[in-house]
Amino acid sequence: MASITCFNQILFKIHSKISQNPKLSFNISNSAVNFTNFGPKKALQRSISIKELSKKRPGFVAQVAAEDEWGPEKNSKYEEGGGIAVEEVETPKKEPTEIDILKKRLVDTFYGTNRGLSASSETRAEVVELITQLEAKNPTPAPTEALTLLNGKWILAYTSFIGLFPLLSRGTLPLVRVEEISQTIDSESFTVENVVLFAGPLATTSISTNAKFEVRSPKRVQIKFEEGVIGTPQLTDSIVLPENVEVLGQKIDLNPIKSLLTSVQDTASSVAKSISSRPPLKFSISNRNAESWLLTTYLDDELRISRGDGGSVFVLIKEGSPLLKP
């Protein structure tokens, strides 16, 4: 009974505060005030009508509750640690747009073509068709007016430019492969850097050209090459040979040549270290063929399609884009 009397006094004080200050927005409904009075082993629940207190501001329900001495009841709204359990709501997956589908199909056609070098006539025709569809849906009709999208490093994924095919051909560069061809654009300094990264058995090196560009139209830029740079070789990991190899069903032990390979690697490492300590070799480009133009026909935040001299096409993907993943 003492608990009821005390609780009635609390409600009376709340009602008095509301009456004295009309700015307070407490809502009290016709519901009952629930409280729990505990005995030694079992909780006894009663309710008090607060109809009289709810005439002015309907909508507020006051409830007083306490835990049973045998422990709190489980409630799905609360975690065992006392915190409120937040129900996880799955974010609906974004449906791919028509452009997303076209880009994915285009990148898929590049598989096994060695950036266009090994593409069949059927693959080339499919690439041309997909590029034409993407160019018709270009979200950036004036790429030179959106230079922030052009900024950054772009990886060459496909080209029809025959001038690059000798570099991509393994027969021209024995034991050396083209690891990456990239183009880095800086719109603040209006510079372009083209880099071809080569990888060999023990080292990597690069050949790059630095150029300036000028905006000539909403889609076209004029490029003037100024300097070439041959990077110093960088030593890679050592070659690891297996214990043996199988040739025509016969196992051949490779242990006898491991010592020879080790000496060769040691010699190559010392040579590479001495070379890598030197600065890159730079040379100027001043001939008449040092200028070119580039027309960007499609541009978004991860894919760029450009056309150059002679109708050659270049498809480049922004570094870090999911489109680069196989």
Q: What CATH number is attached to the domain comprising 187?
A: 2.40.128.280
Whether 92 is in a domain gets the answer no
Say which residue the tokens 């600065």 belong to.
279
Residues 72 and 186 in one domain: no
The pLDDT of residue 178 is above 70: yes
Asked whether residue 116 is assigned to any structural domain, the reply reads yes
Whether the per-residue pLDDT at 234 is higher than 80: the answer is no
166 lies in the same domain as 30: no
Single residue among 86, 118, 142 that ends a domain in this structure:
86
What residue type is 300 in one-letter code?
D
Domain stops at, among 263, 279, 295: 279
The DSSP 8-state label assigned to residue 78 in this structure reads: B
Does residue 74 fall inside a structural domain? Answer: yes
pTM for this predicted structure: 0.62
Q: How big, in percent rounded to 5, are the helix, strand and coil portions of the chain?
A: 30, 30, 40
Distance from C-alpha of 65 to C-alpha of 33, rounded to nearest angstrom: 10
Q: Quote the pLDDT of residue 271.
A: 60
Query: Are the CB atoms for 268 and 234 separated by under 8 Å?
Result: no
171 and 300 assigned to the same domain: yes
253 plus 136 within the same structural domain: no
Residue 93 lies in a domain: no
Same domain, 284 and 274: no
Q: Would you say residue 298 has pLDDT above 80?
A: yes
Paired with 246 in beta bridges are: 251
Please, where are the H alpha helices in 239-319?
255-276
Assigned domain for 94 exists: no
* Weakest-pLDDT range from 19-33, 128-142, 219-233, 272-286: 19-33
Same-domain status, 304 and 225: yes
- Residue 269 is part of which domain span? 234-279
166-175, 176-185, 294-303: which range is least confident on average? Answer: 166-175
Q: Is residue 96 part of a domain?
A: no
Question: 245 with 198, same domain?
Answer: no
Residue 191, pLDDT > 50, answer yes
Tokens of 225: 């090459």
Average pLDDT, the chain: 74
Q: Are residues 180 and 311 in the same domain?
A: yes
Q: Calculate what percentage of the chain has a pLDDT beyond 90.
A: 37
* Same domain assignment for residues 274 and 286: no
- The span from the CA of 211 to the CA of 222, in Å, is 10
Same-domain status, 132 and 265:
no
Q: Locate tokens 């270049």: which residue?
A: 314
Decide if pLDDT at 47 tops 90.
no
Q: Please check whether residue 303 lies inside any domain of the structure.
A: yes
Q: Give per-residue pLDDT as tens, 142-166.
A: 999 999 999 999 999 999 988 887 7
User: How many domains does the chain contain in total?
Assistant: 3
Give domain status of residue 53, yes or no: yes
Q: What is the mean pLDDT of residues 314-325?
A: 95
What's the mean pLDDT in 236-261?
59
Looking at the DSSP bridge assignments, the partners of residue 284 are 227
Highest mean pLDDT among 200-214, 267-281, 305-319: 305-319
The predicted structure's pLDDT at residue 264: 59
**Are residues 118 and 191 part of one domain?**
yes
The pLDDT value given to residue 56: 46
